Homo-oligomer: A and B are copies of this chain.
């Protein structure tokens, strides 16, 4: 049997420890091609590069012996270039993005380069998974979650996903023994409460840093936040359709304006 072709990307950049952990697992399961940003791209959401040229260079220094490329664009650009320039007629059996350093649960999905890369792959008909570990540090421990990461990839390779679907997987930063398993859930309806830090540069000009804290009033037990708070790995099936179907009917009135 032919080995599956696995495309790996991320948003923390090709040298991040998180993508190394994901590549380690992926290499046990198939032929791996890496196309990842050449610099950190956190918070890029579904941004694409349309007003600037994009650079793409083979990089064999990070993943020796693997077909891998670094790209000057966003995570979504990486997936587009992987498909159209790097792989061409070789269609990946799965696209993996991450493992992100930090949570992409709940509303974070819309700001996340990691998940936008996975969504872009799903738009191209490639089943995809975005992985995130709830630890922002560079020294995060990606070992404990590896058995679960592997199981999920194997499951999706075997069963596939609905057309246009992706999985948003978030993992508590816990030792393996304390992880309670996988839990399929919906995106919690939480928000960021932003604050801006005001400062002055050496020339006396004001500037702002975006900061904030995550705030969740959605206390139901079927959400990703609940799962994570209870030591489960959260798995949210996600997609690209933003239509608010419930509102379609209420709004019909405006057709008669």
Within 8 Å of chain B (Cβ to Cβ): is A186? yes
| A37–B238 CA distance with the chains assembled, in angstroms | 30
Interface of A is mostly: mixed
The CA of A83 and the CA of B257, in the complex, are separated in Å by: 31
> What per-residue 1/0 map shows which CB atoms of A144-175 lie under 8 Å from chain B?
00000001100100010110110110000000
Q: Which residues of B contact A61 (CB under 8 A)?
A: none
Taking a contact as CB atoms under 8 Å apart, the answer to whether A210 and B109 are in contact is no
Q: Does A55 contact B (CB under 8 A)?
A: yes
A23 at the interface (CB under 8 A from B): no
Interface positions, chain A 52-111, Cβ under 8 Å from B, are 53-56, 74, 76-77, 80-81, 83-85, 107, 109-111
Contact between chains at B254 and A235 (CB < 8 Å): yes
A interface, how many residues as a size bin?
35 or more
A241 at the interface (CB under 8 A from B): yes
**Interface residue A42 (Cβ < 8 Å from any Cβ of B):** yes
**Complex CA distance for A124 and B192, rounded to whole angstroms:** 9
B257 touches A184 (CB 8 A): no
Q: Of all chain B residues, which has the CB nearest A183?
A: B255
Contacts of A210 in B (CB 8 A): 48-50, 54, 77, 80
A220 within 8 A of B: no
Contact code string A121-162 (vs B, CB < 8 Å = 1, else 0) = 001100000000000000000000000000110010001011
- In the complex with contacts A53-B209, A210-B77, A238-B244, A255-B48 CB distance below 8 A: no
- Name which of A2-10, A14-22, A27-35, A193-201 contacts chain B: A193-201
Q: Is there an interface contact between B255 and A46, defined as CB atoms closer than 8 Å?
A: no
Which one of B48, B54, B119, B247 lies within 8 Å of A43 (CB-CB)? Answer: B48
- Asked if A179 CB lies within 8 Å of chain B CBs, one says no
Q: Which A residues form the contact surface with B (CB < 8 A)?
A: 40, 42-51, 53-56, 74, 76-77, 80-81, 83-85, 107, 109-111, 116, 119, 123-124, 151-152, 155, 159, 161-162, 164-165, 167-168, 181-187, 189, 191, 194-196, 198-199, 201, 205-210, 235-248, 250-255, 257
